[in-house]
Amino acid sequence: MKACTQLDPLVTPYVDGEIAAADRQAVDQHLRVCPPCQARVAAERTIRDLVRAKKAALNSGHAPVGLRARCAALDALATSRPIVLPPPRSTWRARLTPLALAASLVLIVGGAFLYRLTERSSRVLAAELTADHLKCFGVINGVLGTHDEPAAVERSMASRFDWHMRLPEQPDRAGLRLVGARPCLYGEGRVAHIMYRHNGRPVSVFMLPKTTRPEEIVEVMGHEAAIWSAGDRTFVLIAREPPAEVAQMVSFVQAGLR
């Protein structure tokens, strides 16, 4: 069976369907026993589907003024400050790189039209929020070590979103521990992002104000994204967990979060 490093040059042709039968069989065999590579293939397939399906929108759509201003600011920052990448620390960290890259590509490639597509596509919505989930846990919380008390999160949601909510009580009964909360950019506005850990693994609950969606679960980038609405708010719970675990967390959150 091929090792992860041997799989690297085969991932893109595998996803594109341009791979020899023997190599495809070897990749299939490897993916059956390697969750990190499964996530990498899922992430690359999501990016391919997004770009191919919405190629016309890249040429015909125009980003809103606010989004163009943010992109211009990021471009100015990138050109004024050299980017120095640290050396890889371990094999497992290197394997996470495709997921981080996929998350970035969803934001960069899709930035010009995601603000419209997310209104129609649950898969694109899930990809955008999964990118935020990876970014906030992998970069922001990883660096800052955020930890907020429930009362602080509830005050923040009331002041920033006029959302007078109450977090579910005794989250430890569901294996959850509150990490914190922050607003995330979404389209031309912001969404609430509440961060937990489930038995040590990252879990995000997003709240999108003034929008409703059908209840469903979408698999994207190796994560499960459970979507539901309550009143005029849409909630999305994202976790890299088995569907049964995700369903239990959703039931717990739904029972206590409005």
Query: What mean pLDDT is reported for the chain?
Result: 75
Residue scoring higher pLDDT (216 or 82):
216
* Per-residue confidence band for 115, with pLDDT thresholds at 50, 70 and 90: very low
Tell me what pLDDT residue 96 has: 44
Separation in Å, CA 204 to CA 51, 73, 137, 180, 189: 25, 27, 9, 10, 19
- What is the rounded distance in angstroms from the CA atom of residue 140 to the CA atom of residue 161? 21
Which SS3 state, helix, strand or coil, does residue 55 take? helix
pLDDT digits (tens, 9 = 90+) for 63-95: 555 556 655 555 554 444 444 444 444 444 444
**pLDDT confidence of residue 73:** 55
| pLDDT at res. 121 | 74
In a 13 Å sphere around the CA of 93, the CA atoms on its Cβ side amount to 6
Cα dihedral across residues 205, 206, 209, 215: positive or negative: negative
Amino acid of residue 220:
V
Strand, coil or helix: 30 = helix
Q: What is the pTM of this model?
A: 0.58
Q: pLDDT band for 98, please (50, 70, 90 cuts).
A: low
Q: What is the pLDDT of residues 147-190, one digit of tens each?
A: 678 888 898 888 888 898 889 888 888 889 998 888 887 765 78
Tokens of 167: 């977090």
Q: Give pLDDT tens digits for 4-57.
A: 777 767 877 788 888 888 888 888 888 888 877 777 777 777 767 766 665 665
Residue 29 CA to residue 187 CA, distance in Å, equals 40
User: What structural domains and CATH numbers belong to the chain?
Assistant: 61-256 (3.30.200.100)
Instruction: Report which listed range, 24-38, 52-66, 100-114, 228-242, is most confident.
Output: 228-242
User: Does the pLDDT of residue 125 top 80, yes or no?
Assistant: yes
**Predicted pLDDT at 188:** 53
In sequence order, the 6+-apart residues with CB closer than 8 A to the CB of 244 are none
Tell me: pLDDT of 242 over 80. Answer: yes
Helix and strand numbers (H, E) in the chain are 12, 6
pLDDT of the residue at 8: 67
